[in-house]
Amino acid sequence: MSWEDNVRKVVPYTPGEQPKIKNIIKLNTNENPYPPAPEVEEVLKNLTVDDFRKYPDPTCDELVTAVADFYKVDKENVFVGVGSDDVLAMAFLTFFNSKDPEKKVLFPDITYSFYDVWADLFRIPFEQVSLKEDFTINPEDYYKENAGVVIANPNAPTGVLLPLEQIEEIVKRNPDVVVIVDEAYVDFGGESALPLIDKYENLLVVQTFSKSRSMAGMRIGYAFGSKKIIKYLLDAKFSFNSYTMNMPTLSLGAAAIRDRAYFEECREKVIATRERIKPLLSELGFTFGDSKTNFIFAKHEKMHGKDIFAYLRQNGIIVRRFDLPRIDEYLRISIGTDEEMDRLISVLKEFL
Ligand code: PMP
């Protein structure tokens, strides 16, 4: 017997690289190429070290109010956390607690690769349901008995969107478990399940400031749900760490979300660049699904993703590749500025 027998052993998630090299074109972790809303800088300038002396507000009221106002819901329908990773992890811990080990939490085989890591960490039995050949979800696969459902919509890393009617059908068919819809990328062309929270008490819709609001470094995620489901999340949070969000994050996040016009402008720019790049990638021999996100998940007809990845890197462009079954030939290319994407296209042209 060793102390190590009692260790909760886990295989951790591997986040995308944050390179130390300067002047690199970074298209590997789906960050927004544009800065956060201008008011964020104003609020930042007015912070003083004295603001750090006291504990932050455990209810996160300033941020929760700003999110509730933006989305026209009650504050009791909103939960916030340290990035949507924190919100999702808390939701897994809170809601996936079936007494029956035969019942599994369901999510796609190709999706955000943190889901299986949290399930392992919390010892939650799960089943990875195969996406169809074209990487779309077959909703009927989620109608069987289960211990919970998680769907990223649009899905990552595929970029493919499941229409809202089909999301609703999955929620409707699963009244006995919690259904989590992870909408990290919804602002780039998806339709949010938010309006469904009034109709389905067991639905949790999770979003983030990391992509469409250009604040990945601040770590802000949030969730919408019925007042009952949000209360359960808060109970778990306050049993874990009362102060998940720090003081500057609460103020800066609130400032970021208040500027609706800037948000619209930025996401439209990203969408326009994505749509402009799609035919250029096709001309070069890439195939990909109809991305509704701020990335394109593409495979080349002749060259292996591994070789393209290496050539891009040598030329100062980092994209993401997953060494996983079914997708190892693919590259996930985040949408950068127009200049960055033009450079990408010209380096790809040289290589191919
Ligand atoms: N969900 C999906 C589908 C993602 O791709 C990401 C980004 N890695 C997250 C959640 C987590 O993002 P964050 O913690 O930055 O909100």
Strand partners, 205: 181, 224
Residues 27/157, Cβ–Cβ less than 8 Å? no
Q: Are 165 and 144 in contact (CB under 8 A)?
A: no
pLDDT of 128 reads 98
Q: For residue 22, what pLDDT is reported?
A: 86
Q: Assess whether pLDDT exceeds 90 at residue 183.
A: yes
Q: Where in the chain is the domain with CATH 3.40.640.10?
A: 38-259
Confidence at 180, pLDDT banded by 50, 70, 90? very high
Residue 295: strand pairing partners: 334
Between helix 227-237 and helix 83-95 the angle, nearest 10°, is: 100
- 84 CA from centroid of ligand 1 (Å): 6
Q: Choose which CATH entry (3.40.640.10, 3.40.50.2300, 3.60.20.10, 2.40.50.140) describes domain 38-259.
A: 3.40.640.10
Q: Report the alpha-carbon distance of residue 351 to residue 343 in Å, rounded.
A: 12
Strands (E), 73-192: 78-81, 105-108, 126-129, 148-152, 179-182
Q: Which atom of ligand 1 is nearest to the CA of 16?
A: 8
Measured between alpha carbons, how far is residue 72 from residues 78, 165, 196 in Å?
Answer: 11, 22, 13
Nearest atom of ligand 1 to the alpha carbon of 185: 3
Q: Which of 84, 123, 133, 127 is nearest to 106 (CA)?
A: 127
CB of 184 within 6 A of ligand 1: the answer is yes
Of 273, 247, 317, 284, the closest CA to residue 23 belongs to: 317
Instruction: Give the residue range(s) of CATH 3.90.1150.10 domains in the chain.
Output: 23-35+261-351
Residue 243 vs residues 216, 235, 246: alpha-carbon distances, Å: 19, 13, 7
Tell me the pLDDT band of 155, cut-offs 50, 70 and 90: very high
Q: Is the CB of 216 under 6 A from ligand 1?
A: yes
Looking at residue 191, what is its pLDDT? 97
DSSP 3-state of 205: strand
Question: What is the CATH superfamily name and number for domain 23-35+261-351?
Answer: Aspartate Aminotransferase, domain 1 (3.90.1150.10)
| Ligand 1 pocket residue status of 194, Cβ below 6 Å | no
Q: Which of 10-19, 277-286, 293-302, 341-350 has the lowest mean pLDDT?
A: 10-19
33-70: per-residue pLDDT in tens? 999 999 999 999 999 999 999 999 999 999 999 999 99
**Atom 1 of ligand 1 has which residue's CA nearest to it?**
184
| Beta strand residue intervals within the chain, DSSP E | 25-26, 78-81, 105-108, 126-129, 148-152, 179-182, 203-208, 221-225, 286-288, 295-300, 317-318, 331-334
Proportion of the chain above pLDDT 90, given as a percent: 97
Q: Which residue has the tokens 């897994």?
A: 92
Tens-digit pLDDT profile for residues 275-310: 999 999 999 999 999 999 999 999 999 999 999 999
Give the model's pLDDT for residue 63.
Answer: 98
Mean pLDDT over the full length of the chain: 97
